[in-house]
Structure 1
């Protein structure tokens, strides 16, 4: 009898385990924001090491059915939030979970400096937005002015004829000295002449997330005066997915491009690093209007529940053949003459023929570099208040060499009163014009939103220093102390500009 009871007991245990193994269970629950407790619609819920998963409904609820008894690790994620993992040691019954996610690591509209961007039905400004999806199919190697020239009341022209290098933009007839340009809310116009030198941003369109072009006075609270319009550029958002990409291409006029980029993805739930390098070369449409542009872009970000800290370092050393002198209109119909690149020229008495011209020399070149350093911090003080601080430092240094045979001893200060006696300037004289710019700035801003509207208080603080000089880089027959790297500067001056301003803005609803 004892033996039979033992058999019966073992049989019962086996039956229970067999039935339990055939039974399935479910995992259900709701994914919510840890702070607001609102459901997160479209959250991804997956079981690690399997292909099983689902997404949450409009209220954040989800359910995964038909799971056999086993150990599981559930992973829940939502764009803009940290990924959360939940371990279920042994699933033996239907299980309900409440999953709270922390806001974290995706760069998005939060980082756009809204005060410089017009909003529909809020700002009385005519504007166009170009997002990355629209921009990328249209971009290859051309500079930003050519891309924007398709917008209403916007035109551009290119010195070397192929949209790479020195390009000039006009909005509503105003040249770019009267157009405010900002990148991530940071002013880019030269503090001395208010110009914007697009060639110092080589291949920059590859790093752009969106562009807003405002026509007219614009809505910016700070930065250079913008009578013609404003251009606000936002660089790429940080991507949570790891990525490595290499691109290359070749086009007309000996144009080529090669680039490589990487993205680390999210590191330790709060860090992201990305970078990009590229090189663009072209012979140019016009003679000797070549370019050799290298570019770099490095970004790093750290995210917390209420903090967003980003660092950008970008720029690119450029080299190009000068081609700034225009041509008379009548050469447009001549396929050879319209490609000419003269240092100077003149027409005959009829005005229909070129009487004299000097071909631009091969040693008339430019060499420049303009690195940018940006540190941007966003702090969410509360659901209604945000504090932004942007620090930036911009360098710009280099030279351009151009023909100096037109000069006189008086122009170069080679007369007896300066201790020299030079009768004439040689025909191969070459001038080197050098510039070194430094700019440091701080842009604080406090924004408060409520049912009554929006309140914005901020400031702009910038300091700019510059050094300019010129010398004779080449010149046959001139004394050694007047030519070359150790030659005297026939002109030299320094510049300085300090900007401090405050602003207050109120929008009522």
Structure 2
């Protein structure tokens, strides 16, 4: 199997070739014909480019046949033409000023363009829809460069995660219509709270590295800039249903009014997803909705979005012990004795450890060992165009979230939770089984804005920023126990986090000959307070302030009408998260992280193939990592490491191999190192901790090779088959480069078959068959590890196995 994987991996990157014959070229100007439109987006079938400083574009080496040419530019009506190419074609396109303000203005301030010295990838709703059969948004982005995804339940439904260039979700900035989505305290993103969100997404731009200035915490690995539903001029109704392995079922209904009275639109979506999960009891029960109403005027656009989700997932976040996964009986027995009384409390738990399947094992047996959360977002977006050169965009937002996770605890006492057993018929300190819930209730609200001044194609200026506040309550309660009075319902801790986040940025780019220069300066101020008690019953009264200056500069040089070279340098600063502050040692308080990011690349678009290559260097100071160090109450803490870096090359391209066969591929080759890293291990033999120091080691979860490939073949009209491949090299689960603490490399192939036809009264009937992991690769995409001294060094590894071959079948009906 390994030999087959190597052969298949090499086949992903065979030399590109394509026959070539004709050229489509032209110029894009405004309706008067006087002003060339610089940076207009031009697409010819699946290939895209932007007009140069004179408004010119060119697509060379095209085969004869039918092509759809589409030209878009902010503030102008879209131009579209179908032509049969049998000779070179020259087009002069005059775009007319739009009677409406377009939705693109909403996210323009945070977006990169073809002329930006930024490394990015655009994904449209058509591309998202191809795989949208119930799996979460990270899985729909799996084929983009430098991305690794994982799923706790093993099948992409429920809790999922995405890493970009090895950076975890707390370092990936996410905005929805320019509004921050990352949790302000943990800084993570939880897509399970917005199930089937992709069904209401119009487009996503993935920026890698620091990227352009945006709202929320600075991107330390990448950013996802998401725009939701935009204007539909005609009424529509769409039903999407899918089902498949592990009892997975998805139903989605989309409805829209189209443009009413030439000014108003209403859109809505309802979704329900359920799955048993690949892992035992890894179930998910997910519901979500999206609603939007918009007013389109000649100079004004108002859009109100209300959307949210409700999730209930069984907890499978503890993973599978390595000995259980590998089927090593002696090692499993050692693991059992080392953890008896810590992980496994009952005879039923012990039997489950021995008798269950190694790849689908789940530790928890309590029926309601679940995570439950509701989240609702309210957004009011407003854009005003003063004149063709000046526009203003602002948004008010509010998010409410509330939920808990419930746990069964065996052999505990109410006194451990600051409660009195005697009040419930027991004796002081009496051992009991109990059920607890840990809650999070939060409010997040604020304002974002941007002012865009583009008087000519020679330069543009954007000034933007935001003010946001987060108010979150963290509390826990014991709800029941095996005491004479079994119903407890007593709160045992209550803490609060209050965070204020202000930023302002200014961006200018201007043309100098064939070069376009870019400057972006951001100031950010953070005020964060933690008060009350935490889950350890420790009193907290903490206050932190951060002032960050994040400058960026770059240059893009236009080689010709369809290619450019770019380079940029950016500095990003990022504050520690809630747990970093709460668990910190008094003598070693966490410091803000600093990143210096270099990006240099070449892009070539508009020919029979699109191609891009770039080098990146990400140099960290004071990066926060887990070291095994504990604080005075035994909690593991993250510590700053002085120096670490990521360096690599990314290649991304697509080629039309024949009239019906296309191939897209990407690969990342990187080095990811932390210098002078100290590992700490608990010493149960002598007390305290012991340490090991490493001069240079690999950063955890940072594979040196990430590659993706998709071959798409049009079998017949409306029928397309695609082979999707993903290779990820080995990853270490900590920062020691220890071969005994790693995730093995994996090479996974998925097969997709899509058939779309039009019926008399239906716009589309579509069938999609998605076979995931067609070669039944046994692999793990995530895990964790810890080591300690107990009669010698012991290392405990835990893994999250991913599903073998599994199937999803989807039906799409559009009215």
Alignment TM-score, normalising by the size of structure 1: 0.73
1:359-414 superposed Cα distances (whole Å, 9 cap, x missing partner) = 43111112211000111011111110110011110010111111222644443113
Matched, 1:170 2:176: no
CA deviation after TM superposition for structure 1 residue 499, in Å:
1.3
* Partner of residue 257, structure 1: 250
* Partner of residue 140, structure 2: 147
Matches of 2:394 and 2:375, distance apart in 1: 23
1:416-440 superposed Cα distances (whole Å, 9 cap, x missing partner) = 999995323423x111111111011
CA deviation after TM superposition for structure 1 residue 222, in Å:
2.7
* Partner of residue 471, structure 2: 465
1:134-162 superposed Cα distances (whole Å, 9 cap, x missing partner) = 12112211111122222222112111111
Matched, 1:444 2:449: yes
Matches of 2:289 and 2:244, distance apart in 1: 22
Determine helix, strand or coil for the equivalent of 1:135. Answer: helix
* Partner of residue 52, structure 1: none
**Aligned counterparts, 1:33-432, within 5 A:** 103-104=98-99, 107-111=102-106, 113-123=107-117, 125-332=118-325, 346-347=335-336, 356=350, 357=353, 359-405=364-410, 407-414=412-419, 422-427=428-433, 429-432=434-437
* Contact 1:312/1:373 (8 A) holds in 2: yes
CA deviation after TM superposition for structure 1 residue 493, in Å:
1.3
Q: 1:422 to 1:289 in 2, by over 3 A?
A: farther
* Contact 1:425/1:475 (8 A) holds in 2: no
1:65-120 superposed Cα distances (whole Å, 9 cap, x missing partner) = xxxxxxxxxxxxxx977xxxxxxxxxxxxxxxxxxx98445854333x12222222
* Partner of residue 501, structure 1: 503
Structure 2 unmatched runs, 5+: 1-29, 35-74, 78-95, 354-362, 512-815
* Contact 2:100/2:299 (8 A) holds in 1: no
CA deviation after TM superposition for structure 1 residue 449, in Å:
0.7
1:332-352 superposed Cα distances (whole Å, 9 cap, x missing partner) = 466xx9xxxxxxx944579xx
CA deviation after TM superposition for structure 1 residue 470, in Å:
0.6
For residue 477 of structure 1, the aligned residue among 479, 483, 498 is: 483
Q: 1:454 to 1:107 in 2, by over 3 A?
A: closer
Q: Higher relative contact order at CA 8 Å, sep ≥6: structure 1 or structure 2?
A: 2
Structure 1 unmatched runs, 5+: 1-34, 40-78, 82-100, 338-344
* Contact 1:405/1:426 (8 A) holds in 2: yes
* Partner of residue 682, structure 2: none
Q: Which stretch shows the higher mean deviation, 411-420 or 247-256?
A: 411-420
* Contact 1:264/1:272 (8 A) holds in 2: yes
Matches of 1:176 and 1:251, distance apart in 2: 28
Matches of 2:291 and 2:229, distance apart in 1: 11
* Partner of residue 490, structure 1: 492
Matches of 1:365 and 1:474, distance apart in 2: 16
* Contact 1:296/1:314 (8 A) holds in 2: yes
* Contact 1:189/1:195 (8 A) holds in 2: yes
Q: 1:448 to 1:106 in 2, by over 3 A?
A: closer
CA deviation after TM superposition for structure 1 residue 215, in Å:
1.5
Paired residue total: 400
Determine helix, strand or coil for the equivalent of 2:320. Answer: coil
* Contact 1:437/1:465 (8 A) holds in 2: yes
Q: Which stretch shows the higher mean deviation, 465-474 or 354-363?
A: 354-363
CA deviation after TM superposition for structure 1 residue 201, in Å:
1.0
1:244-263 superposed Cα distances (whole Å, 9 cap, x missing partner) = 22232211100111121211
Determine helix, strand or coil for the equivalent of 1:253. Answer: helix
Matches of 1:304 and 1:245, distance apart in 2: 27
CA deviation after TM superposition for structure 1 residue 126, in Å:
1.8
Determine helix, strand or coil for the equivalent of 1:257. Answer: strand
Alignment TM-score, normalising by the size of structure 2: 0.46
Q: Over aligned residue pairs, what C-alpha RMSD do you find?
A: 3.0
Name which one, 1 or 2, has greater alpha-carbon Rg.
1
CA deviation after TM superposition for structure 1 residue 468, in Å:
1.5
